[in-house]
Amino acid sequence: MEVTPSPERSTPSPPGSPRRCLPRRHVSSPLGRVDLLDEVVDFAKLIGYGVGDWQRTPLADWSRLDSRGKWVHRRCGLSVPRQAGKSHDAIIWAAFLVLEMGYSVLWTDHNYSTTCEMLARFRRILGRRAGDPDAPRAINRRVKDAKSKTAQESFELTNGGVLCFSTRTDSASLGYSFDVIFYDEAQLLTRAQAQTLNPTTTHSPHKNSQLVYTGTPTRAGCAADRFSELRREAWSDAPDDDLCWLEYGADEVGDPMDESRWYEVNPSLAEGLVEIEDVRTGVRGMKGDTLGIAQEYLGYWLPPREQAEPPLIGEGLWRETLVAAPSVPRSFERVAYGVKFSPDGSTVAVAVAATNGGVAHIELPFCEPTARGTRWLVSWLAVRASRASCVVVDGRSGAGALCDRLQELGVPRGYVIRPTADQAITAAALICESAGTGGITHIECPALDLSAATATRREIGRGGGWGFGGENSAPIEAAGLALLGLTTSKRNPKRKAKVT
């Protein structure tokens, strides 16, 4: 293997000075000296994508060929801070494989809202359908068919290429064999999900399979271990020849608010491909979470021993409460909703808890980015006020405005609840206890399942109270809030109600 060692870090330069951003680790195989970089860069221009200097490295690694015309690197990892454009290279490579090489490609994300975001980016390249008058004609004329049905989104190309989108689950049912799988947000990829998806490349149509992992450092306590294990191999003394790995980031937490450090760890920022205001907005949205900022925006990886904190519920225990969708009653006597805004205010999760007097049933109708606003959520909750016990709304950012808008619409008294710290602690304990005793059921839902499998303990207040923490804790927190509302609210419309 060819390994670029960690460079010596110089004293950070003040803003306005020349920037120098070097990778902490670059691993590539000495096999094969021919790549498709020039072709890929020319193709990127065709679809309206520029390629920065640093972005040429992963594209060259991913497209390197051996003497048989097969990929040298079958496992490809890219770890960079947020706002560095990790999806940029992946989109270019995926589009090239489909449009220019006729490959079958699967693009996966950890929840459906992210899948929809990436689907929208590919639609700007390919169009929404064959013959789309609003799409670039040179590309869209290659589209044979496009499917838009939820969980079946895909493109079929005239050259035989196929691009499918899937939200990761532990039991995905896919009708294709794929040449290449992209694991976007790879830091959230679990063993069970990888075991489900990787075999779809066993009989790849072109007999030239590849797995591409792109993400940020795995957060503390996260049970998703595939990306961490790939990195561990890349940092070992003898990684296998089929692995390539490119990592940018800081080697210590330090002061993550020091903007001069951002240029030394974010290659897109150093090359002027992104604006510092965009990075600044994200960092300030996480103000107070020093370690979180270091991991997300400085690309800092925790030492392996610091990633061992177990999840509060865990994948195994949560799976025991899984039921098949057809077994869920069509209506319930009592229903309550839980709404949780993530700490940085970027995501809102909406859960529902319902019961007919026995075991409570939990579902997650939404886990959406707040960039689209919350007017839709206000309307959705307001029209259900006449048949639900309550909605419990929590979160530093967004919760107050949501409650105010619901009150302005004249929802019934007692319908909207803002939980105290003690109630938030109770909600976390309630969902954990119910999962452990069989007091709840749920149907398969990737966002909720991942949250329950990975959310860890977070101290609340000074009295030893705790709740959920971690990068993807909002869905399971919303479920706990809904369960709290269901079990404690005295308001009961006394009528049958649907789950959603």
| 67-95 pLDDT tens trace | 999 999 999 999 999 989 889 999 999 99
- Beta-carbon contacts of 379 under 8 Å, excluding residues fewer than 6 positions away, are none
Average pLDDT over residues 318-328: 93
- What residue spans define the domains of the chain? 2-306, 315-488
Average pLDDT over residues 460-468: 75
Question: According to the model, what pLDDT value does residue 10 have?
Answer: 37
Tell me the pairing of strands 390-394 and 456-460: unpaired
- What is the token pair recorded at 217? 């450092």
Going from the C-alpha of 120 to that of each of 113, 153, 314, 438, the distances in angstroms are 11, 11, 32, 39
What residue type is assigned to position 380 of the chain?
A: W
Question: According to the model, what pLDDT value does residue 201 have?
Answer: 85
Distance separating alpha carbons of residues 109 and 123, to the nearest angstrom: 16
Sign for the pseudo-dihedral over CA of 461, 464, 465, 470 = positive
Question: According to the model, what pLDDT value does residue 4 have?
Answer: 60
Position 150 pLDDT exceeds 90? no
Q: In degrees rounded to 5, what are phi and psi of residue 368?
A: -125, 150
CATH class, 2-306 region: alpha beta
| CATH of the domain spanning 315-488, picked from 3.55.30.10, 3.40.190.10, 3.30.420.240, 3.90.1720.10 | 3.30.420.240
Question: According to the model, what pLDDT value does residue 418 have?
Answer: 96
Question: According to the model, what pLDDT value does residue 223 have?
Answer: 67
- What is the token pair recorded at 301? 């990886």
Q: In degrees rounded to 5, what are phi and psi of residue 9?
A: -85, 125
Average pLDDT over residues 46-50: 94
Average pLDDT over residues 100-112: 92
pLDDT band of residue 492 (cuts 50, 70, 90) is confident
What residue type is assigned to position 445 of the chain?
A: C
Domains 2-306 and 315-488 share a fold: no
Question: According to the model, what pLDDT value does residue 323 have?
Answer: 94
What's 410's DSSP letter? T
Question: According to the model, what pLDDT value does residue 19 have?
Answer: 56
